[in-house]
Amino acid sequence: MKSEELKHRITLQTFSTTVNDNGFEVEEWTDFKELWAAVTNLHGREYFEAAAVQAENTVKFTIRYVPNIETAMRILFKGKQYDITSIDNIKYANKFIEIKAMEVDSSG
């Protein structure tokens, strides 16, 4: 992967619980890290495997290696939210991570 392919800005978010000024717990998504990423749709065999489980809105994000990324996080990209379904440290080289994420349906 070439660094010029990482041309899209994404935000990784974590779900956290905090206590507000009134002493009540508030659950919210907070920004973990902003990153540059290569973004592609699934194609070929990957697409058909995702379609078999009704995950057609799956997108592949490739980023530089960042430790502590988990499937409990989500990605914000171009005003849409994506739930992370899988994380692959490519060849365990700690250089790039491939994240597959499914678009969250915001219609309710």
What is the pLDDT at residue 89? Answer: 95
Q: How would DSSP label each residue in the chain?
A: --GGG--EEEEEEEEEEEE-TTS-EEEEEEEEEEEEEEEEE--THHHHHHHHTT-TTEEEEEEE--TT--TT-EEEETTEEEEEEEEEEGGG-SSEEEEEEEE--TT-
What is the pLDDT at residue 46? Answer: 55
Q: Report all structural domains of the chain as residue ranges with CATH numbers, in order of start.
A: 3-19+26-103 (2.40.10.270)
Rg (alpha carbons) of the chain, rounded to whole number: 15
Tens-place pLDDT, residues 80-89: 999 999 999 9
**Consecutive 10-residue runs of the chain (108 residues): their mean pLDDT?**
85 93 92 95 60 68 95 95 95 94 78
What is the pLDDT at residue 62? Answer: 96
The amino acid at residue 17 is: T
What is the pLDDT at residue 102? Answer: 92
Distance CA 11, CA 35 (A): 6
Instruction: Report pTM.
Output: 0.80
Distance CA 28, CA 33 (A): 16
What is the pLDDT at residue 57? Answer: 82
Tens-place pLDDT, residues 5-24: 899 999 999 999 988 899 99
